[in-house]
Amino acid sequence: MGLGRFMVRRLALSLLVLAGLSILIFLIARVVPGDPARLALGPRAPEWAVQSLREEMNLDKPLHVQYYLWLRGLLRGDLGKSLLTRRPVMDDIKEFLPATCEIVLFSALVMAVGGILLGVLSASYPNSWFDNVVRVVAYLGIVTPSFVWAVIFVLIFGYIWPILPVIGRLEMTVEAPPVFTGFLLLDSLIFGKYEAFWDGLRHLILPSVALALGGMAQAARITRSSLMENMGKDYALAQVAYGIPWRVTLGKYLLKPSLIPTVSVMALDIAALFANAFLVELVFNYPGISGYGIRAMLNKDVNAISGVIMVMGVIFTGVNIIVDLVVAYLDPRVRLVGGSQSG
């Protein structure tokens, strides 16, 4: 099976999954006890106003009709109105999502570069002090929830040694670029606001590193073990015996196959990034979709909850497709057999 057909199959499956997900999410969001319309307008609003909101939100219709209407809206990009912000959920998501993507992308970068670098270094010096330090640090990284890192970072860099900002996305004194893509860093480059770029970057560091540490440790460990395994294989030993420089062997022959498990696991870790961002953004008061989602969940904001989870599902599915592609590129066997187990 060629890469093209593999992709088509993968995409079709994903669409099916997303359809199923939409039902699941709809069901989760509709079991909310209480009357969302009354909740939105407050106890003193007259009954007719509440009734008209109920109609506007289709809460008066049977469940399957509600689902149909919700799905129809979803396909048109209309997720209904948030009860909390009283705006279309889509507008909220458009505002908050880029910020979260920025954090997640940045920490994915930190995770990938840091993890692979550390893994390669410790595999190159197995059982050295460096390797041991990495191993201990990796274990710590894996077992420490990102919200704990976030709290620790706020304590250290916000308070004991205040060198980095610990709140929000941009300082008040820095002029923000006009919103074009929603990605602050990109926008500030497009419009030449270098000060905003700089400041935005500084704001990204702590939350993304707090998020990345766990995955980075994981990636380092896996890269190391898979590299070690491949280094023991005949072809690698042969290359060394032929006197081919180590870095050529490593860069050209060993690294690619050794990265397959790393990349597969990283898919899960990127998913975990989105999930953990839910907690980390709260700590940093970062205006991302996760903080918005948590607030929506705590306040039973039906439309916002389903909107946010659906968007998460779409992103997650998309990330998985990309990872499958990368794995297929790295590992011809996947392309040929056409099955991938990364979840």
Partner 1 sequence: MRGGVIAKALAVAVLLAFMGGTLTGCRPPAAEPEPQAEIKPEDRILRVDSDWPTYIDPAVGNDFSDSIALVNLYDTLVFPNFDGSVRPHLATDWEVSPDGRKYTFYLRQGVKFHNGDELTAEDVEFSMKRLLTIGEGFAYLFESVTDVKAVDKYTVEFTLKEPFGPFVRALVRLYILNKDQVLAHIKPGPYGEMGDYGKEWLLTNDAGSGPYKVKEMKMEEYLLAEKFDDWWGGWDKDAPFYLKLIATPDPVTIRTLMARREHELTSEMLPEENLKALDEMEGIDTAGYFDGVNLNIMLHTRKPPTDCIHFRRALAYCLDYETVATKIWPDAVQARGPVPHNLPGHNPNVYQFKQDLEKAMEELKKSKYYGQLEKYPVTLSWCAEVPLEEKLALLFQANAAEIGIKVEVTKKPFGAMIADAQSPETTPNASIIFVAPHYAEAGSMLKSRYHSSTCGSWEQCEWLQNEEIDSMIEEALRTLDEKKRFELYYKIQEKIVELCPTIWVLDRFEKRAYQAGYVYWPAAEEVKAGKAILPIMGYGQYAHDFRVYPEKRMELLKTK
Partner 2 sequence: MADSAKWRERLGRAWYKFSRNRLSVVGLVLVVGIILLALLAPVVVPYPEHAGAFVDYANANLPPSRTYLFGTDVFGRDIFSRTIFAFRGALIMAIGVLVTVVPLGSFLGLVAGYFKGTRLEAFIMRITDVFLALPPLILALAICAMLRPTLFNSMMAVCVSWWPWYTRLVYGMARSVRSEFYVLAAEVAGASKAHILFREILPNCMAPIFTKMALDVGWVILVGAGLSFVGLGEQPPTPALGTMVSDGAKYLPHLWWNSVFPAIAIMVMVLSFNLLGDGIRDMLAREEA
List residues near partner 2 by CB under 8 A. 13, 16-18, 20-21, 23-25, 28-29, 31-32, 139-140, 142-145, 147-148, 151-152, 154-155, 159-160, 271-272, 274-276, 278-279, 282-283, 293-294, 297-298, 300, 305, 309, 312-313, 316-317, 341, 343
Segment interacting with partner 1 (CB under 8 A) among 10-18, 58-66, 281-289, 334-342: 281-289
Residue carrying the six token digits 């040694």: 161
49 is an interface residue for partner 1 by CB under 8 A: yes
Return the residue matching tokens 């060394």.
240
Residue 335 has, within 13 A of its CA and on its CB side, a CA count of 12
Q: Which does 197 bind (CB under 5 to 8 A by kind): partner 1, partner 2, none?
A: none
Shortest gap between Cβ of 272 and partner 2 (angstroms)?
6
CB 164 within 8 A of CB 206: yes
**Choice between 181 and 285, CB closer to partner 2:** 285
**Between 202 and 295, whose beta carbon lies closer to partner 2?**
295
Binding of residue 323 to partner 1 (CB under 8 A): no
Under rule CB under 8 A, which residues in 287-306 are in contact with partner 1?
A: 287, 291-292, 295, 298-301
Q: What minimum distance in Å lies between the beta carbon of 244 and partner 1?
A: 9
Helix (H, G, I), strand (E, B) or coil at 220: helix
Q: List % helix, strand, coil for the chain (3-state, nearest 5).
A: 75, 0, 25
Q: Is 78 in the site for partner 1 (CB under 8 A)?
A: no
The reply to whether 162 sits near partner 1 by the rule CB under 8 A is yes
Looking up tokens 């997303």 gives 18
- Those residues whose C-beta lies under 8 Å from the C-beta of residue 88, and which sit 6 or more positions away, are 78, 79, 80, 81, 82
C-alpha 19/C-alpha 330 separation (Å) is 30
Q: How far, in Å, CA of 30 to CA of 25, rounded?
A: 8
Long-range contacts of 246-255 (CB under 8 A, 24+ apart): 246/124, 250/120, 250/124, 254/227, 254/230, 255/120, 255/227
Q: Is 7 exposed, middle or buried (0-12, 13-18, 19+ CB in 10 A)?
A: middle
Question: What single DSSP character describes residue 190?
Answer: H
Question: Is residue 202 at the binding interface for partner 1, with CB under 8 A as the rule?
Answer: yes
Contact status: 126 vs partner 1 (CB under 8 A): no
Of the candidates 18, 105, 121, 275, which one interacts with partner 1 according to CB under 8 A? 121
Per CB under 8 A, residues contacting partner 1 are: 33-35, 38-39, 41-46, 49, 52, 56, 84-87, 92, 95, 117, 120-121, 124-125, 151, 154-155, 158-159, 162-168, 171-174, 195, 198-199, 201-202, 205, 245-247, 250-251, 282-285, 287, 291-292, 295, 298-301
